[in-house]
Amino acid sequence: MSIPTHIGFIMDGNGRWAKARGLPRTAGHKVGAKVLEPLLEHAFKRGVKFVTLYAFSSENWGRPKDEVDTLINLFREYLSGDIKALKDKGIQIRFIGDKHRFPEDVQEKMTLLEAPLHSPVKGTVILALSYGARADIIHAIQALIKAGKNVEELSEDTFKKYLSTHDIPDPDFIIRTSGEQRLSNFLLWENAYAELYFPTVLWPDFTPAELDKALEVYESRTRRFGKV
């Protein structure tokens, strides 16, 4: 079976999951966080090497303050608990996005978690926090200019080196839960030839069994990369 090397998840539907149960949106985020550890372990067991999680976009700062505060507290707990547990099991942790917008203690947790593993790496989880693909592309252009690169000699490979994902293979498969069919400013450069999948299941209900269904869909696709 063909297994994607890199899967990107747009974790959508926490708020709707909570609303359907008469709960506040924040309850959906808490349940959605609990889905991650078993799902990630299953993904790596199936042979996936990289998983990027779109956990908090740069636009999400515009949500109601109580929801943003709850999400930051949830990140704080998650970085000390489930994500740390994954690292203890041989999973390398990476972060992309504007980390400096988070409280100092959260930034410190990110820095500690990003330290290289001394044991064999079983897989890599990239958390996109305060991330926006357009901003990442602008930052790459600014870095190119500061580095004095000759625009006439610029290639796609050179440009890639200045993105926050420069040392990560492009996603093969993007899964957005809840049925919404948008990329929402997620890895726009990197997704040029990714296969897209939009299951209607809400994120808190996206189990390892749902991932198996998604992998069957991926297996059924023919990737041509613009060729015949």
Handedness of CA 195, 199, 205, 211 (dihedral sign): negative
Tokens read off for 163: 């993105």
Question: What residue type is 228 in one-letter code?
Answer: V
Q: Give how far Cα 96 sits from Cα of 111, 171, 226, Å.
A: 12, 15, 28
CB distance 78 to 153 below 8 Å: no
Q: Which residue in 14, 60, 105, 167 is the catalytic one?
A: 60
Q: Give how far Cα 165 sits from Cα of 98, 103, 169, Å.
A: 13, 23, 8
Q: Which residue in 12, 14, 136, 172 is the catalytic one?
A: 12
12 among known catalytic residues: yes
60 among known catalytic residues: yes
Greatest alpha-carbon span in the chain: 57
CA distance 22 to 80: 29
Catalogue the active-site residues. 12, 60
